Amino acid sequence: MIRLAAHFVAGFLALALLAPIARLVPPPWPVPNVPVLITLYVALGVRGSPSAGAACAGTLGYVTDLLTGAPKGTHVLALLLLYFIVRGLSSRLFVQGRPAQMGTAFAATLASAFVVVAIHMALPPRGAWSTLILAPGEALMTAVVAPVAFALLWRLDRRVARESAGEGVFR
């Protein structure tokens, strides 16, 4: 539980640091999706209670909803779906190389963006499907940052929980 709390705090700090950077970056430049990266790491790299991992993913989604101004529950649902799908496929996914990590992060970011836009379409102030045009850029930026983010999260994991495996999935 302490490991997941540390991952949540890391995600919260990363979101707090990326929010001003995202406002300074010109509009066509995407920013990596940190909550998706942390949810992927928790789903694939942290063994333990699925409910604790889901709580971490859901809390990150709620904080993301608050910081982005999205309707409450939009990112919560997207990250919870992502967590449970990836957790269910975790025994079948091989993410031990950099290209596999980047590919998984790219696909997860695209799927998360699709869920968020689909939820926005269903709610009263309707969004537009055209916002999915921005998703590949964000997914590409997330994929580029993924190996570094996973290595940092693995190091945090090793500092917080000594009993974690020496050779991790994301080492």
Please give the C-alpha separations between residue 98 and each of 159, 161, 167, in angstroms, as whole numbers.
22, 24, 15
DSSP state of 163: T
d(C-alpha 80, C-alpha 92), whole Å = 19
Asked whether residue 46 is assigned to any structural domain, the reply reads yes
pLDDT band at 90 (very low <50, low <70, confident <90, very high): confident
- Side-chain-facing half-sphere of 50: CA atoms under 13 Å: 10
Asked whether residue 66 is assigned to any structural domain, the reply reads yes
pLDDT band at 28 (very low <50, low <70, confident <90, very high): low
Asked whether residue 124 is assigned to any structural domain, the reply reads yes
Which amino acid is located at 95 in the chain?
A: V
Asked whether residue 168 is assigned to any structural domain, the reply reads no
Angle between helices 34-45 and 50-68 (to 10 degrees): 180
Asked whether residue 129 is assigned to any structural domain, the reply reads yes
DSSP state of 154: H
Asked whether residue 60 is assigned to any structural domain, the reply reads yes
Greater model confidence, 113 or 92: 113
Residue 37 lies in domain: 2-160
**How many domains does one find in the chain?**
1
Asked whether residue 171 is assigned to any structural domain, the reply reads no
DSSP state of 168: -
Condensed to tens digits (0 to 9), the pLDDT of residues 111-123 reads: 999 999 888 888 7
CATH code, domain with 11: 1.10.1760
Angle between helices 50-68 and 74-89 (to 10 degrees): 150
Asked whether residue 167 is assigned to any structural domain, the reply reads no
